[in-house]
Structure 1
Amino acid sequence: MKILVVTLGTRGDVQPFVALARSARDRGHDVVLAAPERFRPLAAAHGLDLVRIDDGPLALMDGVAGAAVSGGVRAKLALARAMPAAFGRVLEDCATIARGIGHDADVVVHNGQVIGAPHVAELLGVPCVLALTVPVYVPTREFPWPGAPLPPWLPGWANRAGYLGMRGPAVVFARVVDDWRRRDLGLPRRRGRHDPLRRPDGVPVPVLNAVSRHVVPPPEDWPPSVTTTGYWFLPAARPGLPAGVEEFLAAGEPPVLVGFGSMAGADPAATTRTVLDAVRAAGLRAIVATGWGGLVAGEVPASVLVVDDVPHDVLLPRVAAVVHHGGAGTTAAVAAAGRPQVVCPFVADQPFWARRVHDLGVGPAPVPQRRMTAAALAAALRMATGDPAVAARAAALGARIREEDGTAVAVRALEALVTGATAAAPRTPSPPSWS
């Protein structure tokens, strides 16, 4: 089986797909991994070649979009104007892959952010699978749409209605995609062409939720086309941390780990000062991860160690708690490590994960970035590190998650899908009708 895996986004969006690609390769399958160039070292570290797709949307996240998160109308308009061209370049790369190295793929797996992937699968006449680290596509009455900070007390019908938010990209990029379909793929217009949940013949697309059922129990109203596999983790890194980190860990009580990834906010220096003040007020030691700019290095007391990049799967089990922004990947890693979490969400799905952490009893109530003060963060830290019940629940959750093998479940699902598709229909479909 040849699998074309296409993903776009931050490390939390890409790393699970690297894990899927590695697992499929280890089971003897041929895998083409298409992702932004900046993740080539990550892929290479796991023996995978990476086919480049344009970094344009990611570069906007580093620049214009960072300002749009905390900026005004002007910043948001600048982002809206820049996005179609950036995604146009991604579409061009998808067409190149479809005509080249991916032309003989048996299945296409994508994360939804690569809006051209379903159209590539249509061109190749193969199944397309929507794989999600955040359950934002399939409506449910049981919880609000995770794509925005909606209140958790909405009635079931309103929860389902919130998932209409996923139609936004189809509206914004419809003309760009239609022009690309016609020009680069030679595909005609057809009804439903912008719905990633439906195949060209109207049948539901298989959805793989790369989430633990212990963190997000599958809702009863999800259709059979949705499979919750468990998280997609890479194999653990070799034990061992940089000497300075080992020395710091050995010098006192387990510290808290603080990092906001690439979520810089309006003033990373001010956020860093708030974090340091909170840690001091809570009487804790801390490791501050500067990451991609969410926090900044500077003069710190002896009770704080500043690091850039360390293997989190090695460090996480050795800290008392973790303060983070609530990205899907970070939430998953901390949960699997069995550590309490203090989530300080910025935007998008982060408030959803912050609520899940609190509802599961493995962390205090969220501390949103817009309202984060040293006093509020210190109080949350005291609860996360001082309540034995929180620590016990976090440890138990981690043990259950580590029993799952999400990538193996996902690869078996792909194998079954391709086997069934090959037996049921010829590889090349009849041309879709115009509408």
Structure 2
Amino acid sequence: MAAPKSFATSVRAQDVEFAALDNGPNRLLEDPLMAEAIEGGYRGVRGKITALAAIRRIKPLMADVLRDVGAVARSSGADVVVHTPSVPAQHAAEALGVPAVLAALQPGWVPTSEFPCPMVPLPRLPRFLNRATYLTVSATLRAYSGVVNAWRTDDLGLPRGQGPRHALVLQAFSSLVTPVDPTWQDSVRTTGFWYLPRVTTWTPDAALKAFLEAGPAPVYVGFGSMAGRDAQRTGDIVAEAVRAAGVRAIVATGWGGLAARSSDDLLVIDQAPHDWLFGKVAAVVHHGGGGTTAAALAAGVPQVVCPFVADQPHWAQRMHAVGVAPQPLLHKKLTVASLAEAITHTASDPAIRRRAVELGEQVRSQDGVGVAVRELERIRNGRC
């Protein structure tokens, strides 16, 4: 597995051979420009200007990532190259002469007329414009075409071009919670969510263990890697909302999106494995990242989603649509009153809790990883 070198510990914990890539655009996660872009969700004219500025910053960093992808590919002896949309490793597959498989962790990469691109924050449009909305995503990827073409010609020794067609697209999410187009080709497979089996047993520290045992199940609040520009303000809103809702809470600071202090009814932690913790809480308040959403679904607990950017508004809307969460609360417009009301409603509504339990059982039964593995074996063995 090739990934940014900052993920080395996580990958090796799964007993998988690891190849380090340059951290690339991840270096910008704490940059003020990127924080502004994330917090604003690229909305409005200012958001689009910020997005263009972000692309200019990312381009040279992507060149470093692609250089390492090429080096790893040449030494890998790979039979298949599986990659995410943000790293165009299909070009490395072409150089190796092996199939390329796209692993889409969120919807929006396969165009359809059935629904607009979930990655793009747009008002409701007439159905005949749905397919056109996917051009926005492809245009964003084309913004890096100069970097990619230089990589193809100078590093991989290939002619300029788009690269090969993907032999397979694996959509790593559930058709139970997000729309799929029944007319998509057989090469597009929506597998169900991919859940990571824990290789080692995780043990909570004394403070977390004691807090969980000291009273009723708390609410979890965490915004993952979404930093925003004012972690202290967000932390204050969360602490006051938890107090107003009359619940206990575990607040995960993650990558800096929240700044809070522990108290009798609020415990601040850095992070904890979601598959371990979410089954022990009354509700999960989160940013709507695909991984966190999937973990909350699998745990069978109600959710409150406060989306920032990219696919997060989609997951927030879908959690409400399938009945496990109230209306989304945009992070930028988050207030003590709105968050307290959402927590109170979610934690006290038996219908939401029943639906969360029911959907959790269905999602867990799909075996998304097993489906993906069987599809990859089929491609590797030439049964396209």
Give me the TM-score of the superposition, normalised by structure 2: 0.93
1:246-325 correspondence runs (5 A) = 246-298=209-261, 300-325=262-287
What is the deviation of 1:371? 1.1
What is residue 15 of structure 1 aligned with on the other side? none
Structure 1 alignment gaps of length 5 or more: 1-32, 425-435
What is residue 173 of structure 1 aligned with on the other side? 144
Letter in 2 for 1:114: V
Aligned partners of 1:230 and 1:404 also within 8 Å: yes
What is the deviation of 1:240? 4.4
| 1:258 partner SS | strand
Aligned partners of 1:60 and 1:79 also within 8 Å: no
Query: In 2, Cα distance between the equivalents of 1:418 and 1:49?
Result: 19
What is residue 346 of structure 1 aligned with on the other side? 308
| 2:143 partner SS | helix
Matched, 1:337 2:308: no
Matched, 1:131 2:103: yes
Aligned partners of 1:139 and 1:222 also within 8 Å: no
Matched, 1:81 2:81: no
What is the deviation of 1:293? 0.5
| RMSD, aligned CA | 1.9
Matched, 1:145 2:117: yes
Query: In 2, Cα distance between the equivalents of 1:311 and 1:247?
Result: 17
Aligned partners of 2:74 and 2:96 also within 8 Å: no
Letter in 2 for 1:119: H
What is residue 85 of structure 2 aligned with on the other side? 112
Q: CA offsets, 1:332-374, max 9 Å, x none?
A: 0000100100000011111000000000000100000111111
What is residue 16 of structure 1 aligned with on the other side? none
Query: In 2, Cα distance between the equivalents of 1:268 and 1:175?
Result: 36
Letter in 2 for 1:255: P
How many pairs were matched up? 376
| 2:185 partner SS | coil
Matched, 1:407 2:364: no
1:173-212 correspondence runs (5 A) = 173-190=144-161, 193=162, 199=165, 205-212=167-174
What is the deviation of 1:410? 0.7
Matched, 1:42 2:18: no
Aligned partners of 1:241 and 1:314 also within 8 Å: no
Letter in 2 for 1:166: V
What is residue 65 of structure 1 aligned with on the other side? 34
What is residue 394 of structure 1 aligned with on the other side? 356
| 2:78 partner SS | coil
Aligned partners of 2:174 and 2:192 also within 8 Å: yes
Query: In 2, Cα distance between the equivalents of 1:280 and 1:98?
Result: 52
Aligned partners of 1:316 and 1:339 also within 8 Å: yes
Aligned partners of 1:256 and 1:323 also within 8 Å: yes
Aligned partners of 2:226 and 2:257 also within 8 Å: yes
Query: In 2, Cα distance between the equivalents of 1:301 and 1:328?
Result: 30
Query: In 2, Cα distance between the equivalents of 1:175 and 1:371?
Result: 37
Aligned partners of 2:236 and 2:260 also within 8 Å: no
Matched, 1:158 2:129: yes
Structure 1 residue ranges, 4+ long, deviating more than 6 angstroms after superposition: none
Moved more, 60-69 or 275-284: 60-69
Matched, 1:51 2:26: no
Moved more, 377-386 or 181-190: 181-190
Query: In 2, Cα distance between the equivalents of 1:77 and 1:228?
Result: 32
What is residue 43 of structure 2 aligned with on the other side? none
What is the deviation of 1:166? 2.0
Query: In 1, Cα distance between the equivalents of 2:176 and 2:39?
Result: 33
Give me the TM-score of the superposition, normalised by structure 1: 0.82
1:231-250 correspondence runs (5 A) = 231-236=193-198, 238=201, 240-250=203-213
Aligned partners of 2:4 and 2:23 also within 8 Å: yes
Query: In 2, Cα distance between the equivalents of 1:49 and 1:79?
Result: 32
Structure 2 alignment gaps of length 5 or more: 41-45
What is the deviation of 1:239? 6.3
| 2:91 partner SS | helix
What is the deviation of 1:127? 0.6
Letter in 2 for 1:61: L
What is the deviation of 1:156? 2.5
What is residue 432 of structure 1 aligned with on the other side? none
Query: In 1, Cα distance between the equivalents of 2:215 and 2:114?
Result: 44
Between the aligned residues of both structures, percent identity stands at: 49
